[in-house]
Amino acid sequence: MSSEEFGAGGRNTFGLLSSPYSHPVMLSEEQLRDLNYPLLAEHGRQLDFLASTLHQRGLDVHAVVLRLAEFQVAIPSWALGTGGTRFGRFPAGGEPRTLAEKIQDVGLLNQLNGSSNSISLHIPWDIPTDVAGLQQLLREQGLTIDSVNSNTFQDQRDQPHSYKFGSLSATDPAIRAQAVQHNLDCIGYGQQLGARVHTVWLADGSNFPGQSHLRRAYLRTQESLATIYEALPSDWTMLVEYKPYEPNFYSMVIPDWGTSYTLCQSLGKQAQVLVDLGHHLPNTNIEQIVGRLRQLGRLGGFHFNGSGYGDDDLTTGSAKPFQLFLIFNELVDASQDASLPAAQVAYMIDASHNTKDPLEDLLQSVDNILVAYAKALLVDRAALHEAQEANDVVRAEEVLRDAFLTDVRPLVAEGYRQAGGALRPVQALRTAGIRQQLIEQRGKCSLSTGL
Ligand SMILES: [Mn+2]
């Protein structure tokens, strides 16, 4: 990700490779071929049928598949183990215990779908200790570190000051200085591993009326962010994420895209707004926010996830595939608008939950994202524009429906195949018995989350 919008990402390398970290569970090229073989004939039939249908609509199926094969979504290190709720955690077994094992898991995902070639790190959970070894592992797996995420929403052991009442917005300058330093440390760790994006999600806020001076909390945050921004390397982007509630329930210092936007405006060009799909109140028109930010030149990235009520962090596109399609429709529309400059948008997943095998969940999320993207690429933009200009409400909606209701799964599968991956990644993961191998290697109760 973090490449030019919808542009090419690096390709993975396949096959068993030597590594400073012993025995990563990987699939050989031959295994992947064997997994695809029984599906190839039916896949070919479906793809041919779809190609001829799209050809009649004036669409070049090869161009669409190429865009899909190039599209990359970053995987968060914190989603490789089962997440929890306030009530409990139900581990899947075989979860990664170290940063090296998290990298290996993402390597496995990328082998299967060719669309997950980078990783988002969370500091201090992922502080690199063996930088040279990790760099080598990343090279071998064909992966990069795209972003580092700071964490001032919980106290770490040995930390002099508590974040109980805020971090970058805290009333005590010593607490703010500590939180700023943590963010600078994150950038330093990211530089060691080649990251180019620093993401700030601020949990600061208040739980009760009167607890916090709303304007002064904003100004203190702005000042803290400016200090971090000054230290940002010139080729980095700083993403400012917003969230309407939780962990604070009366006010959040950065509750909405408007606040993120004004902070970014005050910081400078390298500051951009990050849209986390779960960080909106129910029924918010997220695609409109995406369109606005893109128009304003401040759309920096996404945290993809699925949400029914709030920050549910479920599988992306599981319950609201139409919303995901409409978001991609805005992105594709903007990318084809000659009046808008190209944007560097970081596509990342931010999900973590309790019920599914984390690797299967991530494969499903990436698949749903690619399906939404593929459908957005099929929209007849000229017809849509014409209908909009003529205020032909029904025709405009029908144009979107034509694209959304097309079963594009053969295109996505062909993208996987062309990237050297599996036609059906989840099925391949199961057939290859990956989880069992991971459990044998790492044990049933392995754990790496920092929560
Ligand atoms: Mn997020």
- What is the per-residue pLDDT across 50-59, written as a single tens digit (0 to 9) for each? 999 999 999 9
CA distance 280 to 97: 32
**pLDDT number for residue 107:** 97
Which pTM was predicted?
0.94
* C-alpha of residue 313 to centroid of ligand 1, in Å: 9
Kindly list the distances between the CA atom of residue 424 and the CA atoms of 5, 36, 250, 355, in Å, as whole numbers in the listed order.
26, 8, 45, 21
HSE on the CB side for 247, CA within 13 Å? Answer: 12
Query: Within a 10 A sphere around the Cβ of 287, how many other Cβ atoms?
Result: 17
Q: Please report the pLDDT score of residue 10 as a whole number.
A: 34
Report how far ligand 1's centroid is from the alpha carbon of 353 (Å).
Answer: 13
Q: How far apart are CA 64 and CA 377, in angstroms?
A: 7
Quick check: 352 pLDDT over 60? yes
Give the model confidence (pLDDT) of 166-176 as tens digits.
999 999 999 99
Residue with tokens 């295994």: 31
Per-residue model confidence (pLDDT) at position 2: 38
Quote the ligand 1 centre to 437 CA distance (angstroms). 31
- Residues making up the chain, counted from first to last: 451
Is the model's pLDDT at 449 over the cut of 80? no
pLDDT at 156 over 70: yes
Q: What is each CA distance from 325 to 293, 320, 335, 378, 379, in whole angstroms?
A: 17, 9, 15, 11, 10
Please give the distance, rounded to the nearest whole angstrom, from the Cα atom of residue 273 to the centre of ligand 1. Answer: 12
6, pLDDT greater than 50: no
> How many Å lie between the centroid of ligand 1 and the Cα of residue 373?
20
Distance 181 CA to ligand 1 centre (A): 21
How many whole angstroms from 332 Cα to the centroid of ligand 1?
22
Give residue 250's identity as a one-letter amino acid code: Y
Task: Write down the pLDDT at residue 12.
Answer: 34
pLDDT at res. 159:
95
In the chain, % of residues over pLDDT 70:
94
CA of 351 to the centre of ligand 1 (A): 8
Distance 149 CA to ligand 1 centre (A): 9
Per-residue pLDDT band at 447 (split at 50, 70, 90): confident
Residue 26 has pLDDT above 90, yes or no: no
pLDDT band, very low/low/confident/very high, at 24 (cuts 50, 70, 90): confident
Cα–ligand 1 centroid distance for 201 (angstroms):
7
Strand partners, 299: 273
pLDDT value of position 9: 35
Instruction: State yes or no: pLDDT of 127 exceeds 50.
Output: yes
Residue 332 confidence (pLDDT) above 70: yes
Cα torsion through 408, 412, 414, 417, rounded to 10? -160
Predicted pLDDT at 203: 98
**At residue 45, does pLDDT exceed 90?**
yes
What tens digit of pLDDT does each residue of 220-252 get? 999 999 999 999 999 999 999 999 999 999 999
Residue with tokens 């993961």: 429
* Residue 19, pLDDT score: 53
Average pLDDT along the chain: 93
Q: Can you give the pLDDT at residue 66?
A: 97
Distance 444 CA to ligand 1 centre (A): 28
230 backbone dihedrals φ, ψ, rounded to 5°: -60, -30
DSSP assignment, residue 72? -
Residue 18 pLDDT > 80: no
- Which string of b and e fits 184-220 if b means at least 16 CB within 10 Å? eebbebbeebebbbbbbbbbbbbeeeeebeeeebbeb
Query: 89 CA to middle of ligand 1, Å?
Result: 20
Q: What mean pLDDT is predicted for residues 343-359?
A: 94
CA-based torsion, 388, 347, 92, 245: positive or negative: negative
Q: What is the mean pLDDT of residues 91-107?
A: 93
Residue 369 clears pLDDT 50, i.e. is over it: yes
Supply the DSSP symbol for 39: G
Non-local (6+) Cβ contacts of 77 within 8 A are 99, 102, 106, 119, 120, 121, 122, 125, 126
Q: What burial letters (b/e) apply to 142-171, b meaning 16+ CB within 10 Å?
A: bbbbbbbbbbbeeeeeeeeeebeebbbbbe
Whether 297 has a pLDDT exceeding 50, the answer reads: yes
Spatial separation of the C-alpha atoms in residues 365 and 345, rounded to whole Å: 18
Q: 119 CA to middle of ligand 1, Å?
A: 14
Q: Is the pLDDT of residue 85 over 80?
A: no
| Distance from C-alpha of 251 to C-alpha of 224, rounded to nearest angstrom | 19
Beta carbons within 10 angstroms of residue 336's beta carbon? 11
